[in-house]
């Protein structure tokens, strides 16, 4: 019904750029990453699709997967959706089967609302985020992965018309720390699914420590900076570093350019400050944003590396941050979340409340905050649409029955349809159709208005049900939403301090596995 094109070529801003050569008959290599990257992503959602391992390359992995409908193109160009995969900044690819955009594009054709869907491949792990004072002295800048995404958007803006796409109707969709912070107007709409720019960047000190540890582990610590980089580049090209990314927990860092500063809740209260902190408000007209019921499970794999007793560490950190404001805050949170301050080990029972609190402060509250920001912006024409994804995971594993992280993406892109019952299949199709309507610039449901209509869409269907049970919630406290409200009762200053406390108790963790 339509053609699939892979645009190949090195799209590195930090290296000599070559013109991409299109070859629609073969799939290009993927960026360097752990060999089990695809399996790891599928293990997170507990559902598996066939996947043939692809060649990895240090220089040929920055590609676009462009899905173009094979329909009669009218005079009007087609809207474009650009999907940037997650993966905890350590792995992932637009070619992984869960993220394949083929069925999503076909669904748009079936709706007579054809879109062009583009998947972006970018550097992850050490090639994507390694940085240090030594590297900067040699001209290597930070945040290669985010620079790759920006370069891809620039390429799309310049060339998508050649595929029948409209460069003035581009929707960015993904889980990127740089999504709304760029001053460059490369997209007009933004879809944020279970991940926002509130996931804080790494500090310069943390990134430097990661670099120092890496060169020590590799035996390069006594080399001068140029020799260190020569050896790192050599090892990278040989694929020796691809399995090390998770060990060093790399991610975006404040560089004054792509990530100008760390975003916090307080900076979004005043309209003028909000425009400074999120320049995307000036050019991104519409936002569709949401969370899943238990996005916090994405951090469960990080618990093995935490040596402290998490509930106690979290409560101790909360006391330091919140007691100077109000000594009633911490007892309130301990009670509301069931934090066990007497726990003697990190069991599933004792850590679940910690993950619940992380879920709320890292995902649920940011989604509501940004929905409010877009709906109340002083920039004319900005609108927001909020959703809550409550579909329980139907597949065997520890997260069965939970609305787990990435499950919303998996259902919306249609690639797991055959593994779902009728009700959840219909729910996923509804979600996908809503995204397509949004990409076409349509109102998918009543827009979010904090004061009069805090409306949200709730996507859900039972594991064994035969019907889609999704519904629109017209009240922020609707029983259909199914979210804890304790954190919503606190102000922006408290939110910032709770986020700081949670991150500190997790040993500085900044990224999840997806």
Tens digits of pLDDT across the chain (514 residues): 333 444 433 344 333 333 445 555 467 899 999 999 999 999 999 999 999 888 999 889 999 999 999 876 566 899 999 999 988 888 899 999 999 999 999 999 999 999 999 999 999 999 999 999 999 999 999 999 999 999 999 999 999 999 999 999 999 998 654 556 678 899 999 999 976 667 778 888 999 999 999 999 999 999 999 999 999 999 999 989 988 888 888 999 988 888 888 888 998 888 888 888 888 899 999 999 999 999 999 998 878 778 899 999 999 999 999 999 999 999 999 999 999 999 999 999 999 999 999 999 999 999 999 999 999 898 999 999 999 999 999 999 999 999 999 999 999 999 999 999 999 999 999 999 999 999 999 999 999 987 777 999 999 999 999 999 999 999 887 889 999 999 999 988 999 999 999 988 987 544 445 5
* pLDDT, position 197: 66
Q: Which pLDDT belongs to residue 276?
A: 85
pLDDT for position 476 = 81
This prediction has a pTM of: 0.92
Quote the CA–CA distance of 166 and 74 in Å, as a whole number. Answer: 12
Q: What is the signed CA dihedral for 150, 153, 155, 156, rounded to 10 degrees? A: 170
Residue 21 is predicted with a pLDDT of: 52
Token pair belonging to 355: 């993950």
Q: What is the pLDDT of residue 509?
A: 46
In whole angstroms, what separates CA 141 from the centre of its chain?
Answer: 22
| 3-state SS assignment for residue 50 | coil
Do 157 and 170 touch, CB atoms closer than 8 A?
yes
User: Hey, what CATH class is 2-505 in?
Assistant: alpha beta
In angstroms, rounded to a whole number, what is the distance separating the alpha carbons of residues 223 and 226? 8
Which residues, listed in sequence order, are joined to residue 189 by a DSSP beta bridge? 171, 286
- 273 Cβ neighbours under 8 A, 6+ residues apart: 267
Long-range contacts of the stretch 280-284 (C-beta < 8 A, 24+): 280/179, 280/180, 280/181, 280/182, 280/190, 281/180, 281/373, 281/374, 281/377, 281/379, 281/382, 282/185, 282/379, 283/185, 283/188, 284/172, 284/180, 284/187, 284/188, 284/189, 284/190, 284/382
Q: What is the phi-psi region of residue 345: left when phi exceeds 0, alpha when psi lies from -120 to 50, beta otherwise?
A: beta
Calculate the alpha carbon distances from 388 to 189, 292, 399, 472 in Å. Answer: 19, 6, 18, 10
**Phi/psi at 423 (nearest 5 deg)?**
-65, -50
Domains of the chain by residue range: 2-505
| Nearest to 505, CA basis, from 347, 400, 333, 358 | 358
């Amino acid at each position: 019904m339509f053609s699939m094109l892979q645009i190949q070529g090195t799209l590195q801003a930090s290296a000599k750029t070559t013109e991409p050569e299109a070859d629609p008959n073969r799939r290009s290599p993927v960026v360097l990453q752990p060999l089990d990257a695809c399996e790891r992503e599928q293990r997170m959602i507990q559902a598996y699709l066939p996947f043939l391992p692809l060649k990895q390359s240090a220089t040929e992995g920055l590609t676009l997967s462009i899905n173009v409908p094979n329909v009669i193109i009218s005079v009007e160009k087609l809207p474009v959706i650009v999907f940037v995969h997650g993966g905890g900044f350590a792995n992932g690819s637009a070619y992984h089967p869960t993220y394949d955009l083929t069925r999503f594009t076909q669904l748009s054709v079936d709706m007579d609302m054809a879109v062009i869907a583009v998947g972006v491949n970018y550097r992850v792990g050490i090639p994507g985020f390694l940085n240090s004072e030594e590297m900067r002295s040699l001209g290597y800048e930070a945040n290669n992965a985010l620079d790759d995404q920006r370069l891809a958007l620039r390429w799309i803006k310049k060339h998508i018309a050649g595929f029948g796409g409209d460069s003035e109707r581009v929707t960015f969709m993904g889980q990127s720390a740089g999504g709304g912070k760029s001053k460059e107007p490369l997209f007009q709409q933004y879809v944020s699914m279970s991940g926002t720019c509130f996931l804080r960047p790494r500090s310069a000190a943390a990134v430097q420590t990661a670099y120092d540890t890496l060169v020590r582990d590799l035996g390069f610590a006594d080399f001068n900076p140029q020799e260190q980089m020569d050896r790192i580049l050599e090892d990278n090209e040989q694929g020796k570093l691809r399995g090390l990314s998770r060990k060093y927990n790399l991610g975006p860092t404040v560089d004054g350019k792509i990530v100008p500063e760390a975003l916090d809740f307080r900076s979004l209260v005043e309209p003028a400050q909000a425009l400074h902190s999120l320049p995307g408000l000036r050019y991104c007209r519409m936002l569709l944003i949401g969370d899943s019921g238990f996005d916090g499970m994405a951090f469960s794999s990080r618990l093995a590396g935490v040596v402290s007793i998490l509930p106690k560490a979290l409560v101790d950190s909360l006391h330091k941050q919140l007691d100077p404001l109000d000594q009633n805050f911490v007892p309130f949170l301990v009670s509301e979340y069931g934090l066990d301050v007497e726990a003697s080990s990190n069991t599933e029972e004792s850590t679940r409340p910690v993950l619940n609190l992380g879920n709320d402060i890292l995902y649920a509250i940011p989604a509501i905050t940004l929905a409010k920001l877009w709906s109340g912006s002083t920039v004319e024409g900005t609108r927001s649409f909020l959703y809550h994804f409550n579909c329980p995971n139907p597949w065997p594993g520890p997260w069965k029955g939970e609305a787990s992280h990435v499950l919303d993406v998996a259902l919306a892109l249609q690639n797991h349809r055959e593994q779902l019952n009728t009700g959840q299949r219909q729910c996923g199709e509804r979600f996908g159709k809503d995204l397509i309507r949004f990409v076409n610039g349509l109102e998918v449901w009543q827009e979010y208005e904090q004061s009069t209509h805090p409306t949200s869409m709730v996507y859900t269907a039972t594991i064994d049900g035969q019907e889609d049970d999704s519904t629109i919630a017209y009240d922020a406290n609707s029983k259909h939403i199914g979210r804890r409200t304790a954190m919503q009762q606190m102000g922006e200053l408290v939110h910032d301090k709770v986020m700081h406390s949670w991150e500190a108790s997790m040993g500085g963790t900044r990224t999840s596995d997806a």
